[in-house]
């Protein structure tokens, strides 16, 4: 819940005038001015209306997955050689790939996962992608706000973006850094 003392700060960050916020909250601009100045304590109902209006505007202004994703997803097949996958990562200058089995994404491989396996002593010189398979990347919706999936990127190198049940893009940690 929004701190009532920060209404003005939040409104200004969102680029709203008092008139715009008052209209969105269904209150008068003069009442909002008094609340922001600390001259009046709003009723619970009015406070909720203001907070909801601010949250709605935040949701509308926040960038979405569709705004920062790479269209299309580079992938390899389970039966491809790991060498081919590494070559593809080098050529495309990327650090992870989705792994498919037909049209379905079944896992992922990453530089980090390959290096981890090498450090554990695994011989990957004749390995297939299936031998170095990690979990599939999580899938987020095309219109998801960035804040709704940001925490996933603390645990996964990428998220896939889905639109109407079809994977249409990918977002990596680097994409988030570019977006801020």
Domain 66-179 in this protein, CATH class: alpha beta
How far from chain centre, in Å, is Cα 52?
23
Bridging pattern class, strands 96-101 and 75-77:
parallel
How far apart CA 107 and CA 123 sit, in angstroms, is 20
Q: What is the pTM of this model?
A: 0.66
Query: Which pLDDT does position 93 carry in this prediction?
Result: 93
pLDDT one-digit tens code per residue, 64-86: 899 999 998 999 999 999 999 99
For the chain, the domains span 4-61, 66-179
Q: What is the pLDDT of residues 114-141, one digit of tens each?
A: 998 889 988 888 899 999 999 999 999 9
Q: 3-state secondary structure string, 20-74?
A: HHHHHHCCCHHHHHHHHHCCCCCCHHHHHHHHHHHHHHHHHHCCEHHHHCEECCC
Spatial strand order of the sheet with 96-101 comes to: 75-77, 96-101, 104-110
User: 4-61 belongs to which CATH class?
Assistant: mainly alpha
């Amino acid at each position: 819940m929004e701190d009532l003392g920060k209404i003005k700060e939040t409104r200004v960050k969102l680029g709203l005038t008092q008139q715009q916020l008052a209209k969105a909250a269904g209150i008068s601009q003069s009442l909002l001015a008094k609340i922001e100045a600390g001259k009046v304590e709003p009723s619970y109902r009015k406070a909720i209306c203001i907070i909801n209006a601010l949250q709605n505007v935040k949701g509308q202004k926040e960038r979405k997955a569709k705004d920062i994703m790479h269209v299309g997803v580079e992938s390899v097949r389970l039966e491809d050689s790991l060498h081919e996958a590494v070559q593809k990562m080098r050529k495309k200058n990327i650090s992870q790939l989705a792994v498919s089995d037909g049209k379905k994404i079944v896992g992922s491989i990453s530089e980090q996962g390959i290096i981890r396996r090498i450090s554990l002593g695994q011989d990957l010189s004749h390995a297939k992608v299936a031998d170095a398979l990690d979990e599939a990347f999580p899938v987020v919706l095309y219109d998801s706000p960035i804040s709704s999936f940001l925490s996933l990127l603390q645990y996964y190198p990428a998220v896939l973006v889905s639109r109407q049940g079809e994977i249409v893009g990918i977002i990596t940690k680097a994409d988030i850094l570019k977006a801020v």
